[in-house]
Amino acid sequence: MKIRTFEYFIREAISSLRHNSLMSIASVSTVALSLLILGLFLVMVLNLNHMASALESQVQISVYLQDNLTAQQMRAIGEQITKLPGVTQVTFVSKDEALARFKQRLGEQQGLLSALGDTNPLPNSYEIKVDKPENVKPVAQAVEKIKGVENARFGQEVVDRLFHLTRMVRIFGVVIIIFLALAALFIIANTIRITVFARRKEIGIMKYVGATDWFIRWPFLIEGMILGFSGALIAVVLLNETYAVLTQQVYESLAFLPLIPKQPFLTNLSIVLLVLGTTIGALGSTISLKRFMKV
């Protein structure tokens, strides 16, 4: 394609946008709203997935040792645990440390332990972290077979529910994102179709005088891409501002929630939405032109 021809297509696209300014504003607004809704849902799903992954990474196995083990026997158990596939960290917790943690959790109610006197009923233990959440159960089962281990606990019911929840969030999120993207494509295609319909006679005349299909398509294709990009740009600006405000409020009131940091998350998401908006605009134009090109 010659540069002059491409420049002509761009001028025609811009001219069309100017002559149909109200329709262009409506199209850009529709694209912006569609992609803003899609972007907000993406932010929600990705943050929920981030929180779920953070919770999964915090799951650990508590291994309680039998009484009357020597220091050498306990070290040997620790070495065996370290060699198990999937184990990334093994931390020894002595009886005294376990009791100190328990007292700290009790807070002002530490007096309840006075009846124990100098007795410490808590066992020595190991805390284990694994590389993948799905390795928690098999590692716990392998640890329980080691001689000198009383039992290994990881809150199986809670972990199973957590894994089920994270799977549901990911599957549901993908389905909804695909649905919203298709809905945005449908809305944009129909919006652009109105513009094409208003110029159907012009298309017919161009076909009649011998213009090729692509010569007719290109201005509309560029017009759709401009509309898609402009709408996406508005959506990106609004999304960035909204996320900045929301994260600030969350950090001030719910600091324990592990939200995705603004950068590079927002930059990457902005690029995705801009590319998506431009692509949807081009696809919308292509779909809309099919009917009117059959003259």
| Same domain? 65 vs 47 | no
pLDDT in tens, 216-232: 777 778 878 888 888 88
Domain that holds residue 249: 3-55+162-292
Q: Which of 216, 202, 237, 191 is nearest to 24 (CA)?
A: 191
Range among 37-46, 70-79, 93-102, 283-292 rated most confident: 70-79
| Same domain? 204 vs 274 | yes
* CA pair distance 227, 14, nearest whole angstrom: 10
Where is pLDDT greater, at 129 or 154?
129
Last residue of a domain, which of 105, 133, 153?
153
pLDDT in tens, 271-291: 988 998 888 888 877 777 776
| Same domain? 213 vs 110 | no
| Same domain? 41 vs 74 | no
Using the structure block, give the residue that is written with the tokens 């005349």: 205
Q: Which of 166, 85, 174, 98 is nearest to 131 (CA)?
A: 85
Strands 125-130 and 149-153: unpaired
Would you give the distance in Å from CA 281 to the centre of its chain? 24
| Same domain? 90 vs 234 | no
List all residues 6 or more positions away from 266 whose beta carbon is below 8 Å from its beta carbon.
239, 240, 243
Last residue of a domain, which of 122, 153, 184?
153
* CA pair distance 113, 126, nearest whole angstrom: 23
Last residue of a domain, which of 153, 176, 195?
153
Which of the residue ranges 108-122, 138-152, 280-294 would you say has the lowest mean pLDDT?
A: 108-122
Structure tokens at 252: 């001030």
| Same domain? 72 vs 123 | yes
Check: pTM over 0.85? Answer yes or no: no
- pLDDT band of 80, cuts 50, 70, 90: very high
Using left for φ > 0, alpha for ψ between -120 and 50, and beta otherwise, residue 263 falls in beta
| Same domain? 123 vs 233 | no
| Same domain? 180 vs 219 | yes
| Same domain? 7 vs 65 | no
Cis? peptide before 264, omega within 30° of 0: yes
* CA pair distance 196, 231, nearest whole angstrom: 18
| Same domain? 216 vs 248 | yes
| Same domain? 86 vs 226 | no
CATH label of the domain that carries residue 120: 3.30.70.3040
Q: In this structure, which amino acid lies at residue 134? A: E
pLDDT at 280: 81
Structurally, the chain folds into a number of domains equal to 2
pLDDT in tens, 179-211: 877 776 777 677 667 767 776 777 777 777 777
Question: Contact, 264 vs 177, CB < 8 A?
Answer: no
| Same domain? 213 vs 241 | yes
The number of CA neighbours under 13 Å toward the Cβ of 131 is 6
